[in-house]
Structure 1
């Protein structure tokens, strides 16, 4: 009986322990594991493409003595983002190679701008750490320049909120507010729309380049003055719109209304250098949607599905263990003892199958000789 009682208590104990373990898992996974997953992956390799038609200054014509602006030029902006060192459990360094090309011209004659931007970001907040300080390179024959920054760039934080964020503009090399506009949908996915407006920036004060402040005859610029030298400053403005999936911080769609121009002051648009609206193309949008969806699926699996399943199984195991434990504790009817009274195990006076009833046999008497007569 001792062996039977001991074994009957083992299963309830196992079930109660398993149930408690599963319930603990259900509580700990959302609070611990989800936080571990809400980090920018260390294997980034993302290409985004934006296209549009716009106005472009013909540089060859300008050198020949006439500021000619080509209209309705097909333009492609491409950005290729990869992970670089140093990257670790908390920070990620990304390098973004960016080009703007007029596709109606071949080779270098079609290249309008080229930039290599390197920045180290916090993997959760997506904010720059400035450790190390980021760099920007705009010319292959010139070294990269260190540029510290405080705003977002290539990704928003996990669990993006409906608020204003600082956003770093690569051309102006400064931080500007990007404001929440509305919650909307793109191809069925909920996104937050943000907008940033950059007022005219004097690029000659941003980058020391001879093309950012030029002195040419008025006739060359196409303004009154004949051969009188006129100094023009290169100005830059932008209206940036971003649509962000809030849970992952992935930018689903981006659009920039770029405008660079030469002017005698910021309010005088004398010659367009680049004037174009560049939205992400559809392939880029679909790719970004898939990236965000994959991230959400992983977070939902770990943060919702697994805890729910673990919690349900934990409750079932706990209830089953308690039920079996209580039932086993009530005890059962003990087995009858054998022997005594001449009864067989199958009933009083009745032999069990296979037993022989010796009480009903005839007794044979063997005669014994009387030894006293001898």
Structure 2
């Protein structure tokens, strides 16, 4: 007797195929999609603001013949980062406009420093490619200067580790390790705290600017010597603290203890130029925390949630398909034969149909065979 091969066989096949497909998705998504997501976005547009109160050299008074340092000055540092060309699937070029100004003075009189930095980075490691070589511009009337670099700057790599990383200091134009300090939390978010210390740097050897080495009378500097010219070098130091969300590499909080001063040597602070601690303000921290959380959610969705759901549904579909397939094979319904089925009468009791070539002698339409007449006339 033949078995039915209609819809009862199609559904198990569909379920088995669907289960296999979902299991394949569960395996491929973490290895393929997550790798695509672990790249710096190409639509960067980030503003960070840091504020503090410190000491600032009054440049107008210095030019007037006396070194005057203003104290308790409100200072704000602002950085605006955007994406520029060339940028593609592997690299991203960022441009960062950075200013430090005293807010108790208006316009250019309050501007202390201004820098336009441009660098091309690897979108995964966040390390500079130097192809093209980055540039730094510190004055609007001077062309940008090419500056190669070999350290992190604006972002840490994905899956940041608890170790030291090379970090490029823009003011010193040099790379020095930034060291892991501790694991802590900011606004409920786990972060890694890193710290970098920049020892005194002679800025006259970094940037060819007349303000980085000055010869003025000792009286102007406020040191002994009367009218004797004294040459002062501008020195720079910094203690940089960064708090990084490790999965995305987003810098959630930053702080710099900036110190610039004029001195006859690196150990002599003769005249303060700028001394201030500048941490990110709360609005910036909250924004950076949200950026990190958004990145973490995307990575978690495609790296964990979707594969788990797809895997569970795939297993269920596969088991259901196999179960229905086996059940259908055991419980098949006999099909009616073309010749010789069951001929039931209305009472439900049937008698077998005759095989081909045989005659049903129980049938009512009995054939009468004529007999020859043997009588003689």
Q: What TM-score, normalized by structure 2, do the two folds share?
A: 0.90
* Structure 1 Cα separation of the partners of residues 310 and 85 of structure 2: 38
Q: Indicate the residue corresponding to 2:42 in structure 1.
A: 42
* Structure 1 Cα separation of the partners of residues 166 and 133 of structure 2: 18
Asked whether 1:13 is paired with 2:32, we answer: no
Distance 1:345 1:182, change over 3 A: farther
Which aligned pairs between 1:145-160 and structure 2 lie closer than 5 A?
Answer: 145-160=145-160
Q: Indicate the residue corresponding to 2:309 in structure 1.
A: 309
Asked whether 1:33 is paired with 2:33, we answer: yes
Shift of 1:144: 0.1
Shift of 1:2: 6.0
Instruction: Report which stretch shifted further, 334-343 or 114-123.
Output: 334-343
* Structure 1 Cα separation of the partners of residues 101 and 131 of structure 2: 32
Distance 1:346 1:131, change over 3 A: farther
* Structure 1 Cα separation of the partners of residues 130 and 217 of structure 2: 44
Q: Indicate the residue corresponding to 1:348 in structure 2.
A: 349
Shift of 1:229: 0.6
User: How many residues are treated as equivalent by the alignment?
Assistant: 351
Deviations 1:289-340 (A, max 9, x none): 0100111111111111100110011000100111111112224342677989
Q: What TM-score, normalized by structure 1, do the two folds share?
A: 0.91
Which aligned pairs between 1:69-218 and structure 2 lie closer than 5 A?
Answer: 69-218=69-218
Deviations 1:162-216 (A, max 9, x none): 0000000000000010000000000100000000000000000000111000000
> Unpaired segments of 5 or more residues in structure 1?
350-374
> Unpaired segments of 5 or more residues in structure 2?
351-377
Q: Any idea what SS the aligned residue of 1:74 has?
A: strand
Distance 1:72 1:342, change over 3 A: closer
Asked whether 1:57 is paired with 2:57, we answer: yes
* Structure 1 Cα separation of the partners of residues 335 and 214 of structure 2: 110
* Structure 2 Cα separation of the partners of residues 277 and 340 of structure 1: 99
Q: Indicate the residue corresponding to 2:325 in structure 1.
A: 325
